[in-house]
């Protein structure tokens, strides 16, 4: 997802680091694959590489993982970028997530996913999804242990867990960029406006003709918006 962003950041003089969370990309699973485990992993990653304070760029599950980490470690975060995800205790899961969260039904569903089926779903959500990209998005489904981790992640995702974090992001007082695909069916654009309203002084960029995978659909617009945001930070 970040293959266009990282070189552009380097060209602009910043260091960009994109972790593979456990069970994704080149990282081995680290059971259990829960929301909490991923937050812990992100914390270890930042501290072992001595990265903080970071401008944290998040998308989809990364929003829930990253913003929870930022609230728990406010001194490690300098700025927030939020795209196409949620961090609200009253949010409801989309239909595919509800399926995976259902005992037995979720196991049957995730065992039935093939590379072709996943590709068809992701292409329906993204106008910029290439076959090479799909090969990478398939990797978390490539073996039973990784698939189990995905189920554990969704089943640990009770939004009630966010009740203690209500008001946390605003209290951090960090510069924030809200960057969203206008046609996202999973995390609708109304969530972007909600983040924007909740974070005083935040910047809002809605990318027309982009879907859920906004970084795939509109690399020049998204990368450009990110770099302009970082420049305004004076980093």
Domain segments of the chain as ranges: 5-233
Confidence of residue 48 (pLDDT cuts 50, 70, 90): very high
pLDDT tens digit sequence for 160-185: 999 999 999 999 999 999 999 999 99
Token reading at 18: 């994109």
Average pLDDT over all residues of the chain? 95
What local confidence, expressed as pLDDT, does residue 235 receive? 54
Token reading at 51: 């990265």
pLDDT tens digit sequence for 185-206: 989 999 999 999 999 999 999 9
Mean pLDDT, to the nearest integer, of 34-42? 98
pLDDT greater than 90 at residue 52: no
Q: If DSSP codes are grouped into helix, strand and coil, which group holds residue 200? A: coil
Spatial neighbors of 172 by CB under 8 A, at least 6 apart, are 70, 71, 74, 77, 80
CA angle 33–77–44, rounded 5-degree value = 35
Smallest CA-to-CA distance from 154 within 202, 225, 106 is with 106
pLDDT greater than 80 at residue 103: yes
Q: State pTM to two decimals.
A: 0.96
Pick the CATH number of 5-233 from 3.40.50.1820, 2.40.50.40, 3.20.20.70, 3.40.50.12280: 3.40.50.1820
Residues 218/128, Cβ–Cβ less than 8 Å: yes
Chain centroid to Cα 138, Å, comes to: 16
């Amino acid at each position: 997802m970040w293959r266009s962003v990282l070189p552009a950041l380097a060209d602009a003089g910043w260091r960009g680091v994109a972790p593979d969370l456990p069970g994704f990309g080149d990282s081995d699973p680290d059971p259990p694959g829960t929301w909490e485990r991923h937050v812990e992993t992100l914390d270890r990653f930042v501290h072992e590489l001595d990265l903080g304070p970071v401008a944290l760029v998040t998308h989809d599950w990364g929003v829930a993982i990253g913003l929870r980490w930022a609230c728990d470690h406010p001194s490690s975060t300098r700025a927030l970028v939020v795209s196409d995800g949620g961090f609200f205790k009253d949010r409801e899961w989309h239909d595919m997530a509800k399926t995976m969260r259902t005992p037995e039904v979720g196991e049957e569903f995730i065992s039935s996913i093939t590379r072709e089926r996943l590709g068809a779903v992701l292409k329906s959500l993204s106008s910029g999804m290439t076959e090479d990209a799909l090969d990478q998005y398939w990797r978390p489904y490539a073996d039973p242990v990784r698939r189990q981790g995905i189920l554990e992640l969704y089943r640990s995702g009770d939004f009630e867990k966010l009740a203690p974090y209500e008001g946390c992001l605003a209290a951090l007082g960090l510069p924030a960029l809200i960057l969203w695909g206008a046609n996202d069916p999973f995390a609708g654009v109304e969530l972007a406006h909600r983040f924007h309203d909740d974070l005083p002084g935040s910047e809002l960029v809605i990318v027309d003709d982009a879907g859920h995978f906004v970084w795939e659909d509109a690399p020049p617009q998204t990368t450009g918006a990110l770099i302009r945001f970082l420049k305004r930070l004076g980093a």
